[in-house]
């Protein structure tokens, strides 16, 4: 399957991220597309739902899409997310048999921003992470998922302004 990322879908993920932030969560959003149709939109609810697992926008989008389609696999689907999927979310994308993940900001972008926030807060800002990039997980997983990092990166970087607000 030849995949050409489309700005309109990333823009929907960005709007979901803004909604997540407006609800008191981190500014992350996700959208799943199949055959040119939006199947689901995922919102970050980690803080508002007190759920560090299901509260990820990508997991929310996957659960909704599987429920809507009535099946556990999402072959033919593309995940658009505002940030590089964490190891858990990237694994879920693989296990759901999705074709691709398109994301705006990379793990390196997130690390740089978190280091800036940590310095500004005098070391009080804390970010939990597992230092495994999405590319590594895809390389070692099956089925293979196409990755499109840095798509609309500048718009994604602007979402950092929502952190902590």
The tens digit of pLDDT for each residue in 138-152 reads 999 999 999 999 999
Task: Find the catalytic residue in 6, 37, 58, 161.
Answer: 58
Q: SS3 for 3?
A: coil
- Residues in a beta bridge with 105: 83
Asked whether the predicted pLDDT for residue 70 surpasses 90, the reply is yes
- Looking at residue 165, what is its pLDDT? 45
Q: Is the pLDDT of residue 126 over 80?
A: no
- DSSP H helical ranges for 53-144: 57-69, 87-95, 107-120, 134-139
Portion of the chain with pLDDT greater than 70, in percent: 95
Across the strands, what pairs with 32?
A: 40, 79
How far apart CA 117 and CA 113 sit, in angstroms, is 6
44: annotated active-site residue: no
Pick 57 or 162 by higher pLDDT: 57
Indicate the pLDDT class of residue 127, thresholds 50, 70 and 90: low
């Amino acid at each position: 399957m030849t995949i050409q990322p489309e700005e309109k879908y990333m823009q929907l993920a960005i709007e979901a991220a803004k909604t997540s932030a407006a609800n008191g969560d981190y500014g992350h959003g996700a959208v799943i597309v199949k055959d040119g149709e939006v199947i689901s939109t995922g919102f970050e609810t980690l803080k508002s739902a007190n759920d560090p697992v299901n509260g990820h926008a990508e997991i929310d989008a996957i659960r909704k899409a599987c429920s809507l389609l009535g099946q556990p696999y999402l072959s033919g689907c593309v995940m658009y997310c505002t940030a590089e999927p964490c190891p858990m979310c990237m694994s879920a994308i693989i296990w759901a048999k999705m074709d691709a993940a398109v994301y705006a900001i990379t793990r390196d972008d997130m690390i740089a921003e978190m280091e800036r926030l940590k310095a500004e807060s005098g070391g009080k800002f804390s970010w939990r992470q597992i230092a495994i990039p999405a590319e590594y997980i895809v390389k070692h997983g099956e089925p293979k998922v196409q990755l499109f990092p840095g798509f609309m990166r500048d718009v994604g970087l602007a979402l950092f302004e929502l952190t902590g607000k």
